[in-house]
Amino acid sequence: MSDSSVAIVTGGAQGLGAAICIELLKKGYRVCIADIQESTAKQFAKEQQLTYGKENVMVVSCDVTKQTDYARLFDETLAAFHRVDVLVNNAGILTEVELQKMLDINLLGPIIGCQTALQYMGKSNGGNGGVVINTASIAGFLPFPEIPVYVASKHGVVGLTRSCGLPFHFKKDEVIFTALCPSFSDTRLLDTANKTLDPQLDFSKRPNLLSPEYVAKGAMKLLEDKINGSTLVVTHDGYLYVEIQEKLKNLTL
């Protein structure tokens, strides 16, 4: 039985999630591809199994807005791989029409994911610790007038990551929380967004779209650096950790 590290990636069947899965497999991780689009996930898994072996890639159907699905995701991964070291909360959508759906997936999903990670990976609950990567966005720091609710959801993910990444949690559970905050990337997320936003916006035509592969390397940097509560911004200029301003850190609440 292999004892190599295990990663779960939600929204892992395509786009950035798929690119992260491939980077993890290259680095020797066993990977669970978690996605609500099960047929797409199975096809992607089949392709990766040809390269990395059937024993190193699995699929679990998962609706990230449901606590029961997240628990089952961990249960099935542990049953197959006997450990979980990394959770990438990557599932997300971009729409300013289906607001409840977007907030449920983009914000509630990572909240449930972080709580479930502590439950299964936290040392206080018998786990071995590990790393959680929440996929946020540069929109977690900057305002975009065309997509205010999406911006709100990603600001929430940044706040969630920084709060979970405080010593209060780490002392008990030794789970490191981080956030990946890329600029706009060339994925199907933008195609979907263009169907619901003002046609004049057309995010897919923005200059300097990042490739999923480039952004995925940012996720690997987070895994290598293991800085608790960190938020890594990814742009064409490179990878930059953005910290809370010192003046804000020193405020008395």
Residues assigned a catalytic role: 150
Residue 53 burial (CB count, 10 A) = 12
DSSP tag of 123: G
| Burial (0-12, 13-18, 19+ Cβ within 10 Å), 1 | exposed
Strands (E) located in the chain: 6-10, 30-35, 57-61, 86-89, 130-135, 175-182, 230-235, 238-241
> Could you give the count of Cα atoms lying within 13 Å of 29 in the half-sphere of its Cβ?
23
Degrees, nearest 5: CA angle 44-100-219: 40
